[in-house]
Amino acid sequence: MDNELTATEEIVLITRAQDGDRVAFANLVRVHSMRLYRIAFALLGNQADAEDVVQEAFIAAYRSLHGLRKKASFESWLNSIVVNRARDRLRKRKYDRELVSRMTKNEDLLESNGKYSVEPLAEQQHFSELREAIDKLPCMHRLVILLYYGEGYNTGEIARSLGRPAGTVRRMLSDARQMLREYLTEK
């Protein structure tokens, strides 16, 4: 979290938000927004989409917050909402791309326009090689490795956020490391 809360403070905020306290929910938004944005961005590679997804995710979370029983897992629950929304958007993007491709019958034109191409992950030149290598990873592998090293999650926490078994996440992490190593070695 970017603005740290103790577990107890967070549970108090969640309980108040479940009772309809919008200020409490706004505080939760403030605490979690940065991480959620990064997750969305890691999957979508696009600022506008990432912002939309985070906003939609908070609204969805607010609507279904009353159904949350395990308050201690609020963070991974929020993460999983963002991951699901982002994946929906990726699916939609793929569909749009196929639709446009069918309509124009010219995928090359589409690519050259760059309308649907994924933007670079970040602009800092300092990280350009690492960024390029991470950018080449499949999106879920990218997210796994970023959450592991960037957010400091363990594989269990990542598994809960992605809604996948921990064994699968460990394998993805290992594969992602291997792919990164290969990409960086090519440099």
Partner 1 sequence: MKGAMVKVVLPIHDGESKEEREMMTDDFEGILRRDIPRYWKSINPSRAFLTRLERMEMPAERWGTSLLRRVAFRWGSLHYSIRVVATMLMIFVLTFAGTVGVQAARELWEIVARIGAAGLTSRPVVVFRGEAPMPAPLLSREQAQARVSFPIRVPAYLPPGIGEWKDVTGVQQPAREVFQIMQTEDGRSLVIVSYLVQATGASDLQLLQTEVSSSPLLLLDAYKYVWGTPRGSMPQDTRTVELKPGVMAEWAESGYAGSGPWGEGDFVVVNLLWQEDGMIFFLSGPYSLEELLKVARSLE
Footprint of partner 1 (CB under 8 A) = 18-20, 22, 25-26, 29-30, 33-34, 37-38, 41-42, 47, 50-51, 54-55, 57-64, 66-67, 77, 80-81, 84-85, 88, 91-92, 95, 121-122, 124, 126-127, 129-131, 134, 145-146, 149-152, 163, 177, 180-181, 184-185, 187
Sequence-distant (6+) residues with CB within 8 A of 30 are 3
Residue at token pair 């603005």: 3
* Structure tokens belonging to residue 26: 């706004």
Nearer to partner 1, 104 or 112 (CB): 104
Nearer to partner 1, 151 or 166 (CB): 151
| Contact status, residue 61 vs residue 78, Cβ threshold 8 Å | yes
Nearer to partner 1, 108 or 187 (CB): 187
Minimum distance between the CB of residue 149 and partner 1, rounded to whole angstroms? 4
Nearer to partner 1, 63 or 108 (CB): 63
Nearer to partner 1, 10 or 58 (CB): 58
Sequence-distant (6+) residues with CB within 8 A of 32 are 1, 75, 78
Q: CA angle 116-58-91, nearest 5°?
A: 30
* Structure tokens belonging to residue 82: 């963002």
- Rounded CA separation 28/74 (Å): 10
Minimum distance between the CB of residue 151 and partner 1, rounded to whole angstroms? 7
Minimum distance between the CB of residue 153 and partner 1, rounded to whole angstroms? 11
Minimum distance between the CB of residue 146 and partner 1, rounded to whole angstroms? 6
| Contact status, residue 148 vs residue 155, Cβ threshold 8 Å | yes
